Structure 1
């Protein structure tokens, strides 16, 4: 028999056969009502007044870009020392304990409560918590928690990190007999269509001074909150002790978690004494199986699938690293729409909120632990460290002492997310161990635009072995460190595969590094896929950092033994723009900094999406990558160059505005077998995809004003797209992705401003400064035009458009419900007005 019950917030539930319950298990949102001030010795600014803020909070993104004091590695935004404090009152009874849980603070954080230091946490990406019971003042008296964040090392990374308490914080109270934070681990060791075995490992802490006996009950609910099955047993725990319980529960006819149907279940475990619920613990999980085969690739739930993945850094442009869930959801959905099914969190652990979204939306996730191990990388040069100064001191300073704790905290916190299918122990580590780099023959004679990407290793296997045996050894050995990291990972989870992103796999195979891995990931080394499979056939291979080009995907689909790839990157990101001012970030993404689609996005829509799709771009012949052959057809200026394209898409436009009779090259990205192109309803001919090795349809078209239309045919289905010559701008059109927001202080709306001509066509060739006018209960999170070279402050209501468009993000306020009205204007243009209603927060 199935029962339906409500799952109530804060895990206070009704359990059958229990007479009463204590409201002693509370997981409270601790993000509101903080105070903040900044001490910034770099810019000479010191805030003496406390500002009222809500977490998550990134103070660096609110700064102005600084080309003089700032560093391109971290996006020309400065750090400083940030001080946070929050006053609160508790009402605990003698049977309770209290914890505070931080999902991430960047970085070098010192946490104190009532002037008692709780601890220091240097790593900016790992979650951590403290038992604060002993430091609390008596009930009814004010408590003050202080967090000092030292980001004076503002160039301590190779990408933009943000500064401050940029992830969620929770205050948790429990009975002294309780399931601790991260105290449940759920696996699904056996799955068939008829039956799944769910294994639930539960830790129980007894902080009483006497032995305790209780009843432990675990109930599994489906996505509709219907009871599937339950288990109850008696437990006895010695005083001041901790023990683990293993429970097995069967699920009949399980609904599997899959990238197409990401079904989630919920397990609620309760501890009951004398018919009173004294503790509850809620865990969402998925039932799914994963397998990598060295010859045939990746299997999800027994089905062979290619991993169509992208790498993502943790910033989101406008909002920096304190990214609202709704901002990530818009970005992830845009990637999902073209068939993207996997995310590599590069090069650090994700937030739990991000992983929740991946669970809910159906993304596989590679969760990466570290970008540096024993030896540092040069943050400015993006290679082994060339210079030593204070502001670039990064995680290597703490690795020996903190790596095990940070890795294990991450695994404990994240291991119930069904989206995670790989743990990555490191990213491009080899170059920081000199003999590993030297043994390959690369990096001493490397040309970034040439031989590394397209050449086999200069040294053969025997030479690599010899050099690894004879070259001077450093203080640390890459193979030994890798084995240590893998050991720590597998002490807590053996259900996922351990991988690393190897930039020198030919060395890694022989140095002991690859021996520590379940899969080896190649970083821009698709040219040695066959080399790796032939010489080391037992170790599965995939691309873990690859170029967003057709030749990369072609190399994957031609090889069954390659499981898939992660493109660098899914979205443009802040930083890694060393000495490139005014370029503040890296434009390698399929989406730009504002989440707008780029031409490469449409190309991968053609490569990854089975539904018929088609997209037009254009460029004048002289600015294009083509020349004309003897028959007047466009051919590459350098034959075969498409096979060696690197990170950035070639220069094309998404408009049809040129001078009369300009020779233009029209490109069409499509998965259709054939496409016919029309100019002003006159056919310019039908072409077949099989005729283009670079997977791009091409026509040479003398420009005429009007409409360019492409019609594609795939599997007897037609699909078409058009671009039209635009006239002068006459208006601004505002659109929003949300008509309603919940007044909880979290929900967001994205408002896009697009300049239009008199016929309502988007004008991409003219840009204007737009002012957004906002009334009602909204917080302005920022504005952006998506351009990697825009140097204006994000924290503004004014922005110059790029390609005729710009983005505004607003956020609701807690318990404020005055409707939001937004319009925009420039010096010569006005917009429509949009209205967003605010619904009361009932949680």
Structure 2
């Protein structure tokens, strides 16, 4: 019997064509009378309020989401509490006029869908979002990081426009870092049958036996019909190309009115392809709900099969292979675009980290966007998925459950974190009891994984540490060995390590511009150099590995300076993703690539005859350094270390020759001529004409021999033609106060130490897009992008 689909469920993007306007948290008259108008005393209160679908919003700003309104605000020098931590942007309780945002969106639905179930899904709104549809209050989502979904079937208008109204309140911070504000993740309208599989209602996990696996598919089914209903449920597993590998038996379910049930089905797979860092293979599960010969609802879930082992003495094993966790911590913002990252940027950033040799990503300190996890699934990057707070109140338990259910099918997630640095409770009985409550929830909803907690504690076995399965260390690397001696059966992980502060291309401390040298020499009192912690982690099996603070620079939390410093210096890469010198230290020891890197650059006219501290990062066995052909000596490379020479400066060529397993490696830095040209390199030259894809274009300032001028600070201007748009610019300068979003299309950025970046988002028309890059007095260049 062939099956027919009485209704194909829809997942409709609602990202486009929103209207935005600031409110005000302290002046009701500037907040559309919110606070004095009674919006909740009756259902569907229209009157003349802002939630009225007929409210005139024609003068409001037109935007698409994801949208971060904070990135567009100016920088403000202020002594207000935590302004420095949030990047000196005027948001928070002290800035009522830019801390409330109102959004409105109109959409229509197909009359043929009358009688179906309608759901609004918000992947992330920062923060405390109150939501109305057609004048009806829908709900409030407190969290700025965990999305939520709402059944709005009763409020849908089939005869005209539907109007969503959202008030976003960012007056209260959740973190101590740049968080942005607004609808900064995707919005969806889900339309389903009233017998359906809810969002995150499928859980796929597996048990491995040799090369075979038993895959368990747990499916939740709900009935929103007004009468009892029967259905049949089954699942199909396919390979990545859609070839069917197995099908479960068809299982009957009987559902009462508003009833729900969960069924478990098993499938055996032979000779499975394991998901790994090198081959991130993903299978598919198609789960089907049918009645008679008609499909009511079906979902497709990507999943992978892997095994993990955390051994307190031998370390971490993935699919039986011992690997060291080479991770980075990261916040979720990027140059030019703040926290509202298009999906393609998630892939761009993960690729950069993988190229460095990183194999793990800690989403610190909040639930990541779903697309970040999809990128990690697809590209082969392990993820430590973190709950925002160590708290067991109903609100935070609900958030934790939503994170677990949303993310547990992502094969990249190898470990949960129940919290981070709760100094007031982590070492006492409060913390212990809360941890036990959260661990029980994790075990219930995802028994296939375990948890850690990021503790900034030394050799302390109390509170959370008494009950957490994997002991997480935030810094305190000096105490790990003693802790292991005292607690030899508890696996140990560096959840937050390093925190070397560096500024790309700067080699002297500059307290005026708030820069620190671009070498592994400077760190806060509570942290360590890269070389200090990594030697310990690399050379001791009982270390599972660790996560560096951080992979990328991020806005806010300037250290060791404050104003004019508006972003961190912690990154191995800067906020654009340009490598700093410490990148080559990690890449030397985190990859098998041939690495030979000299720093600093060799443009020092003011230092002729003076000593320069020259560093070589390499995984060669030995390295010899030459200045203009004259040997400065050969040195043996100690593992997990670097080499240094003190060189009297003269213009010319500084060359390193290394030998690795008998092979010769060479690299050099040269004194350049004056800048003559801008060079632009796009990360790809073909994009989809879907209005969502995009390109990152990196700009270098070069001399007449094509060598990057490492001190260039030219103003660079960008002109785009074709159906695409620039959405942000950056340079990696942690003290730049230039706008990330340029007004009136006048896109420009001052190069920082020879580099800057422009981010382009595709349009919807097939054809060529051209980006012209210009700088006064320099030869210009054009980047061509094919949009199809």
Matched, 1:671 2:619: yes
Matched, 1:613 2:602: no
Assess if the C-alpha contact under 8 Å between 2:602 and 2:651 holds in 1.
no
Assess if the C-alpha contact under 8 Å between 2:198 and 2:222 holds in 1.
yes
Pick from 2, 18, 31: which aligns with 1:34? 18
Give the corresponding residue for 2:45: none
1:660 Cα shift?
3.3
Matched, 1:432 2:424: yes
Pick from 72, 76, 83: which aligns with 1:66? 76
Assess if the C-alpha contact under 8 Å between 2:335 and 2:729 holds in 1.
no
CA distance in structure 2 between the partners assigned to 1:403 and 1:320 by the alignment: 26
Assess if the C-alpha contact under 8 Å between 1:315 and 1:574 holds in 2.
yes
Give the corresponding residue for 1:20: 4
Matched, 1:704 2:661: no
Q: Deviations along 1:39-76, whole A, 9 cap, x unmatched?
A: 25699999972122111111110111111387111111
CA distance in structure 2 between the partners assigned to 1:520 and 1:668 by the alignment: 35
Secondary structure at 1:337's aligned position in 2?
helix
Pick from 84, 104, 123: which aligns with 2:143? 123
1:659 Cα shift?
3.9
Assess if the C-alpha contact under 8 Å between 1:780 and 1:811 holds in 2.
yes
Give the corresponding residue for 1:801: 751
1:591 Cα shift?
0.2
Matched, 1:524 2:475: yes
Assess if the C-alpha contact under 8 Å between 1:616 and 1:654 holds in 2.
no
Give the corresponding residue for 1:223: 240
CA distance in structure 2 between the partners assigned to 1:533 and 1:754 by the alignment: 48
CA distance in structure 1 between the partners assigned to 2:122 and 2:605 by the alignment: 52
Q: Matches of residues 729-744 of structure 1 in structure 2 within 5 Å? A: 729-744=675-690
Pick from 663, 670, 677: which aligns with 1:717? 663
1:266 Cα shift?
0.6
Give the corresponding residue for 2:495: 544
Where does the alignment leave 5 or more consecutive residues of structure 1 unmatched? 1-16, 375-398, 438-467, 469-475, 619-652
User: Which stretch shows the higher mean deviation, 21-30 or 341-350?
Assistant: 21-30
1:481 Cα shift?
1.4
Give the corresponding residue for 2:42: none
1:204 Cα shift?
1.0
1:265 Cα shift?
0.5
CA distance in structure 2 between the partners assigned to 1:51 and 1:200 by the alignment: 45
User: Which stretch shows the higher mean deviation, 730-739 or 678-687?
Assistant: 678-687
1:525 Cα shift?
1.3
Q: Matches of residues 45-60 of structure 1 in structure 2 within 5 Å? A: 49-60=59-70
1:491 Cα shift?
2.0
Q: Deviations along 1:314-347, whole A, 9 cap, x unmatched?
A: 1113211111122222222111112100001000
Secondary structure at 2:704's aligned position in 1?
coil
User: Which stretch shows the higher mean deviation, 537-546 or 485-494?
Assistant: 485-494
User: Which stretch shows the higher mean deviation, 654-663 or 410-419?
Assistant: 654-663
Q: Matches of residues 590-605 of structure 1 in structure 2 within 5 Å? A: 590-605=572-587
Give the corresponding residue for 2:53: none
Assess if the C-alpha contact under 8 Å between 1:522 and 1:543 holds in 2.
yes
Give the corresponding residue for 1:77: 89
Q: Matches of residues 141-540 of structure 1 in structure 2 within 5 Å? A: 141-153=160-172, 155-193=173-211, 195-240=212-257, 241-370=259-388, 372-373=389-390, 400-429=393-422, 431-433=423-425, 477-507=430-460, 509-511=461-463, 513-540=464-491
CA distance in structure 1 between the partners assigned to 2:357 and 2:147 by the alignment: 31
CA distance in structure 1 between the partners assigned to 2:117 and 2:646 by the alignment: 73
CA distance in structure 2 between the partners assigned to 1:93 and 1:778 by the alignment: 34
Cα distance 1:834–1:42, how it changes in 2: closer, same or farther (>3 A)? farther
1:602 Cα shift?
0.8
CA distance in structure 1 between the partners assigned to 2:113 and 2:696 by the alignment: 45
Assess if the C-alpha contact under 8 Å between 2:144 and 2:174 holds in 1.
no
Assess if the C-alpha contact under 8 Å between 2:283 and 2:304 holds in 1.
yes
Pick from 726, 737, 750: which aligns with 1:791? 737
Give the corresponding residue for 1:646: none
CA distance in structure 2 between the partners assigned to 1:754 and 1:727 by the alignment: 14
Assess if the C-alpha contact under 8 Å between 2:180 and 2:338 holds in 1.
yes
CA distance in structure 2 between the partners assigned to 1:338 and 1:806 by the alignment: 20
CA distance in structure 2 between the partners assigned to 1:56 and 1:762 by the alignment: 35
Cα distance 1:708–1:42, how it changes in 2: closer, same or farther (>3 A)? farther
Secondary structure at 1:586's aligned position in 2?
coil
CA distance in structure 2 between the partners assigned to 1:179 and 1:78 by the alignment: 42
1:655 Cα shift?
5.4
CA distance in structure 1 between the partners assigned to 2:623 and 2:433 by the alignment: 55
CA distance in structure 1 between the partners assigned to 2:30 and 2:716 by the alignment: 29
Matched, 1:555 2:536: yes
Secondary structure at 2:277's aligned position in 1?
coil
1:703 Cα shift?
2.3
1:122 Cα shift?
1.0
Pick from 663, 674, 684: which aligns with 1:728? 674
Q: Deviations along 1:560-600, whole A, 9 cap, x unmatched?
A: 11100000011101111387011111111100011100001
Where does the alignment leave 5 or more consecutive residues of structure 2 unmatched? 33-56, 92-98, 501-529
Q: Deviations along 1:582-624, whole A, 9 cap, x unmatched?
A: 1111111100011100001011111211222110003xxxxxx
Give the corresponding residue for 2:46: none
Secondary structure at 1:348's aligned position in 2?
coil
CA distance in structure 2 between the partners assigned to 1:168 and 1:31 by the alignment: 6
Give the corresponding residue for 1:566: 547
CA distance in structure 1 between the partners assigned to 2:669 and 2:604 by the alignment: 6
Assess if the C-alpha contact under 8 Å between 2:625 and 2:634 holds in 1.
yes
CA distance in structure 1 between the partners assigned to 2:310 and 2:2 by the alignment: 45
Cα distance 1:615–1:368, how it changes in 2: closer, same or farther (>3 A)? same
Q: Deviations along 1:802-839, whole A, 9 cap, x unmatched?
A: 112111111112x2345322222233223112221211
Secondary structure at 1:269's aligned position in 2?
strand
Give the corresponding residue for 1:457: none
Secondary structure at 2:104's aligned position in 1?
strand
Assess if the C-alpha contact under 8 Å between 2:361 and 2:381 holds in 1.
yes
Give the corresponding residue for 1:451: none
Secondary structure at 1:243's aligned position in 2?
strand
CA distance in structure 1 between the partners assigned to 2:441 and 2:3 by the alignment: 43
1:784 Cα shift?
1.0
1:711 Cα shift?
1.8
Q: TM-score of the superposition, structure 2-length normalised?
A: 0.87
Give the corresponding residue for 1:102: 122
Q: Deviations along 1:281-334, whole A, 9 cap, x unmatched?
A: 110000011111111111111111110000001111321111112222222211
Secondary structure at 2:624's aligned position in 1?
strand
1:791 Cα shift?
1.2
Assess if the C-alpha contact under 8 Å between 1:100 and 1:172 holds in 2.
yes
Cα distance 1:90–1:694, how it changes in 2: closer, same or farther (>3 A)? closer
Q: TM-score of the superposition, structure 1-length normalised?
A: 0.82
Q: Deviations along 1:235-256, whole A, 9 cap, x unmatched?
A: 1222221111110011111000
Assess if the C-alpha contact under 8 Å between 1:612 and 1:718 holds in 2.
no
Cα distance 1:654–1:40, how it changes in 2: closer, same or farther (>3 A)? farther
Pick from 807, 812, 816: which aligns with 2:762? 812
CA distance in structure 2 between the partners assigned to 1:519 and 1:673 by the alignment: 35
CA distance in structure 2 between the partners assigned to 1:657 and 1:22 by the alignment: 76
